Structure 1
Amino acid sequence: MNTIEHLLKASRENSKEISMASPEMKNQVLLDLANLLEANTTKIILANQKDLDQMDAHNPMRDRLLLNEGRIKALAESVRDITNLADPSGAVLMEKTLKNGLLLKKIAVPLGVVGIIYESRPNVTVDVSALCIRSGNAAVLRGGSDAWHSNSVLVEIIQEALVNNGISKDIVTLLPTAREYVSEFLSATKYVDVIIPRGSDALIQRVRRESLVPTIETGAGVCHTYVAETADLSKAIPVVINAKVSRPSVCNSLDTIVLHKNIAKDFLEGVIDGLSKYNVKIFADDLSFALLKNLDYPLVAKATEEDFGREFLDFACSVKVVNDLSEALNHISNFSSRHSEAIISEDESEANLFLQVVDAAAVYWNASTRFTDGGVFELGAEIGISTQKLHARGPFALEKLVTEKWVLVGDGQTRW
């Protein structure tokens, strides 16, 4: 019977090497990795092209899959940036002497072995590995088959940086992509401490249903922008266009435009030129469908219930017209994935109510949802955007790749 147990076991057994490595040693691995990425640019691009050749030329996911010279250089710089962040492991979070004389400390320690299941984004391979190395964790990666050639070369380079510094290559492991191994991975409680799914809602739901290993959810983003009656359309229109078209295949891109009925016509008149340049298809409710038809917008269809709460990941979005803020809040509550939500308004009290009431990892006032990103938040690279509430929420960055350990030092104390 085929199994990945030997790979998981090796990761667990060798994870102590990275957890015990000094901050200086971990940084040296990352600096070497950054240099190796740049030195192997041609090799990476050739491997990436093999993956691109197997994907439909019109698939919007190609943007996620693509690695070019600029993106590889950006990855290398991102790895270097991680070395400038404080090492979260080993930090003393609390220290005090108890009445019984025991010295009590709460210390941040690595999670251990971190499993990641993700789809066709080879940059995740580098980001996750670098974050795990810096925080003293081993990483077990299960990428998508779409990116197999890219991921294989990148992991070879990461392992080279580890071995060059006297650390086991098993600190970063790439699993085969065969589906038969996923269930074994999700049940590997003996070897894996946490699994983080990053990708589509279908992927996240499967991991949630089947994993025996604790999970932290990241990835799925159904993002709304509410354009209020008081909105300055000179702000609202470019914000909405940016949120939809700048990178439609990423999780912080706009999926649903929610419009106050009193500005719906003026807003749609102003936004359609910008959306039509990118051939954005609009799934519109009854009122917005009539308005868009009168404006001769060519790519409009009547929305169904399924078009709300849908992560499009493409040049497409839905439009919902509402009577007031209360209806907008209810719509967002019903269909949000709790990733990123925005309001465009000139009414401070209205905006503050939105920011307080909306249940999402990131909420915006008069800005694009596209900013939800660990690098943009100046947190460094990220594992992903967590949409749950336990352990981490929002950009899942370096500081969250640790847990806590209680350390007590005594002088013979006993308790009866």
Structure 2
Amino acid sequence: MSEREDFLRVAGLAREASATLAPLPRAAKDAALHAIADALLAHVPEIVKANGADVAAARENGISEYMIDRLSLDEGRIKAIAAAVRKVAALPDPVGEVVRGTVLPNGLELRQIRVPMGVVGMIYEGRPNVTVDAAALCLKSGNAVLLRGSSSAYNSNTALVRIMQDALAGTQVPADAVQLVPGTTRESAKHLMRARGLVDVLIPRGGASLINSVVEESTVPVIETGVGNCAVYVDAAADLDMAVDIVINAKTQRPSVCNAAETLLVHRDIADAFLPRILAAFQDKGVTVHGDERVRAYSDAVVPATEDDWYAEYLSLDIAARVVDSLEEAAAHIRKYGSGHTEAIVTDSQQAARRFIATVDSAAIMVNASTRFTDGEEFGFGAEIGISTQKLHARGPMGLPELTSTKYVVTGEGQLRG
């Protein structure tokens, strides 16, 4: 059987499973999720062993330690993944929710209700926890899922999908509702991107090259998730102690993720007071600052920023920094170089906060809080399937409602159109 034939086989199984899954009641879906969580905990050694093979191969291939951190699973992380699955089970079921309803003048009762998408495809890099997060969210929202992770996590993903399928076999949810796309070649990903008619929506999650490739090459409708060139703007009216804490957390708490800060913008009026403090704090944390001339004047450790630095999603202990003359200049910088993911303003001025919110067009705006909070779990959505930076259908962290479509149900008493 060719790779394409193998893909069509599993895609067909997922399609059939979606029809069985869609009408299931919440209790059946929740029971299935708890079975998955139990199975993950029961198979920790197996998962760790499979992941260890992936991590060893990644190190042999010279993958950075930041990316290896995203790839790695240990007992603690597996327990956290299982706990996230249980959190999804505890969330309200979006399927059947009435989005709006009315009685028309002719007596027809009109309701718009949430329904599953059908089959959701996922193409993602590195992080095997996404395999379980995506499956849990899709099952809870009544969708089957086709998972295509990166080759670097293939052993981990194979083990995780097998464990989830075995767990589902003892529930009302069909085991075929969770499928791993066969193969590790680029062609296997293309099979998923070209599966229009079998796959209802495709969600890419990873770096810019992956996302652009999926958006440009897919014939399946795509919900575009974006890279995270997130900026923190320290306003003239900022509390400087708070600003230092927020910037350090946003950059260093976990630098390899999309909601970590990559750009620092500092108002000129507080540059003299703030920049020496934050540059010293960066140095203590091992952060390399790529600065403009005004930032470089405060420390010889700052390296010159290039045009590419302003666009960069470093995913490492690097940050681009510049001094701006106004909030409007900060907003203009973000419009030109930002990715539309998350931006933060640190200020004690309500007027400045309102202007920043109104002029910066990103999926999430933080006021006096770290960019690291843009996350489905932190927002109370349970695990997220991705963070959308587009403006159609879904924007920001995507939880259960974003994995549904709607249908109109019209109930009458024999009305005829004249």
Give the shorter-chain TM-score range. over 0.9
1:408 pairs with one of 385, 396, 410? 410
Residue aligned with 1:61, SS: helix
Q: Alpha-carbon deviation of 1:317?
A: 0.8
Q: Are 1:375 and 2:377 counterparts?
A: yes
Higher deviation after alignment, 49-58 or 38-47: 49-58
Aligned counterpart, 1:115: 121
What is the deviation of 1:411?
4.1
Aligned to 1:133: 139
AA at the equivalent of 1:44: I
| Structure 1 residue corresponding to 2:163, chosen from 143, 157, 161 | 157
Alpha-carbon shift at residue 324 of structure 1 (Å): 1.4
Query: TM-score scaled by structure 2?
Result: 0.95
**Structure 2 gaps, min length 5:** none
TM-superposed CA distance for 1:383, in Å, is 0.6
Give matches, 1:141-180, under 5 Å: 141-175=147-181, 176-180=183-187
Task: Go from structure 1 to structure 2 and tell me whether the alpha carbon gap of 1:7 and 1:269 turns closer, same or farther (over 3 Å shift).
Answer: same
Is the partner of 2:386 in helix, strand or coil? strand
5 Å-filtered alignment, 1:337-416, equals 337-415=339-417
Alignment of 1:15-414 (within 5 A): 15-56=18-59, 58-175=64-181, 176-293=183-300, 297=301, 300-414=302-416
Gaps of 5+ in 1: none
One-letter identity of the residue aligned with 1:24 = A
Note closer, same or farther for the CA distance 1:286–1:133 as it changes in structure 2 (3 Å cut). same
How far 1:173 sits from its partner (Å)? 0.7
CA displacement, residues 347-406 of structure 1 (integer Å, 9 cap, x when unaligned): 221121112211011111111101111111112111111111111111100121111111
Q: Which runs of 4+ in 1 moved over 4 A?
A: none
2: CA distance, partners of 1:161 / 1:323: 58
CA contact (8 A) 1:268 1:292 kept: no
Letter aligned with residue 100 of structure 1 = N
Superposition deviation, residue 49 in structure 1:
0.8
The alignment of Structure 1 onto Structure 2 pairs a total of residues equal to 411
Q: Does 1:13 align with 2:23?
A: no
RMSD over aligned CA atoms reads 1.5
**Once the two structures are superposed, what CA deviation does each residue of 1:261-301 show, in whole Å capped at 9, x if it has no partner?**
232233221123322233211111112122221xxx3xx32
Q: How big is each residue's C-alpha offset from its partner over 1:108-142, in whole Å with a ceiling of 9 and x where there is no partner?
A: 10011001110001111111100111110000111
Q: Which amino acid aligns with 2:123?
A: I
Partner of 1:2: 3
Deviations 1:240-264 (A, max 9, x none): 1111011000000010101112322
> 8 Å contact 2:387–2:398 — kept in the other structure?
yes
Q: Output one character per residue of 1:63-115: Cα deviation in whole Å (capped at 9) or x when no partner.
A: 11111111111111111111111100112333334343433222110011001
Distance 2:412 2:240 in 1: 66
Q: Compute the TM-score of the two structures, normalised by the length of structure 1.
A: 0.95
